[in-house]
Structure 1
Amino acid sequence: MRHTTSCSAICALATILAGSVNAQNAGMNPNSGQVQLRSGFTPDPYTVAVVAGGNQDGNRLPGSCTGWISDAPDFRVTYTAGRLPLAFRTVSRTDTTLIINDPSGNWACDDDSFGDGDAQVVFRRPSSGVYDVWVGTFSRGGTAQAVLGITETP
């Protein structure tokens, strides 16, 4: 009985923690649309205007994520991979972050790697499939205009 009780407590805790980690819902419709890209796409970079930020703390996600994001992804890319790397970048007057759920369900995150408060995530050997992208703001509260760039020439 003692083993069952301990397992029940641990299983309940795991369920609670899993619920908080999965606050971002990749199944929701993206806030700023979606695109299908095939390796070698033009124009490169592909850019889209997004509204960065939200009321969800990206720090709760795995992968050293940071920033404030929305529940739904900001943009969705269905990508057919080739031999080139795939990079996602932000450009904004506000300090932005990137949080990406890749086709394998892994989380990739960044703050400031593209310079001047802009973020960049590079997949050196990208997989084909769906990339759900959240563009966050580093500071809590509010939103900001940003441009998401997708390129194969990082």
Structure 2
Amino acid sequence: MKRLISALAVAATMAAPGMAVAQNAGLSANFGEIRLNAGFTPDPYRVEITAGGSIDAYTDTDLPGACVGDISDAPDFEVTYSAGSLPLVFRTRSSTDTTLIINGPDGHWYCDDDSWGDGDAEVRFNKPSSGTYDIWIGTFNGGTASASLLITETP
């Protein structure tokens, strides 16, 4: 019985399959959170953050291979969204090469580096789900940098 309890305790502390070991969406977001409903204004909604962190998303986590950049343990920002018929788009803007990692309401990871051009990232949900989006903004070449997170429903 003691062995069974010990085995269950060890199993409970291990990360579930497909979940990042280092990223904890349950932590308070570094730069806050917001609730947005479809049709929100102002559009785009802008948040100033410090991108980057001490965790290499590619080598130090169980995130999918497309997830790159140096990030923090906690999400940088959290959006609770009530979806409508419009797309939901997350973009980064910085003078430094930034990456974007999002844990969507479905529990899947969505990642990008450079899709918005000139070192800026974009993740687009053409048919977004209602729920919580936990967002990490990484730096591609290490360190930290000033960055903006833009949330929009217009292309």
Residue 18 of structure 1 deviates from its aligned partner by 4.6
What corresponds to 2:112 in structure 1?
Answer: 110
Residue 144 of structure 1 deviates from its aligned partner by 0.3
Task: State the identity %.
Answer: 64
Relative to structure 1, is the Cα distance of residues 81 and 37 closer, same or farther in structure 2, using a 3 angstrom cutoff? Answer: same
Instruction: Please list every run of 5 or more consecutive structure 2 residues that lacks an aligned counterpart in the other structure.
Output: 1-10
Three-state SS of the structure 2 residue aligned to 1:145 is strand
Relative to structure 1, is the Cα distance of residues 33 and 17 closer, same or farther in structure 2, using a 3 angstrom cutoff? Answer: closer
| C-alpha distance in structure 1 between counterparts of 2:134 and 2:20, whole Å | 15
Q: Deviations over 1:106-126 (max 9, x none)?
A: 000000011110000000110
Instruction: Please list every run of 5 or more consecutive structure 1 residues that lacks an aligned counterpart in the other structure.
Output: 1-11
Q: Following superposition, which runs of at least 4 residues in structure 1 exceed 4 angstroms of deviation?
A: 15-20
Root-mean-square deviation over aligned CA pairs: 2.0
Please, which moves more after superposition, 113-122 or 63-72?
63-72
Relative to structure 1, is the Cα distance of residues 57 and 37 closer, same or farther in structure 2, using a 3 angstrom cutoff? Answer: same
- 5 Å-filtered alignment, 1:1-154, equals 18=17, 21-59=20-58, 60=61, 61-62=63-64, 64-140=66-142, 142-154=143-155
Residue 132 of structure 1 deviates from its aligned partner by 0.2
TM-score by length of 2: 0.85
From the two aligned structures, give the one with the greater helix fraction. 1
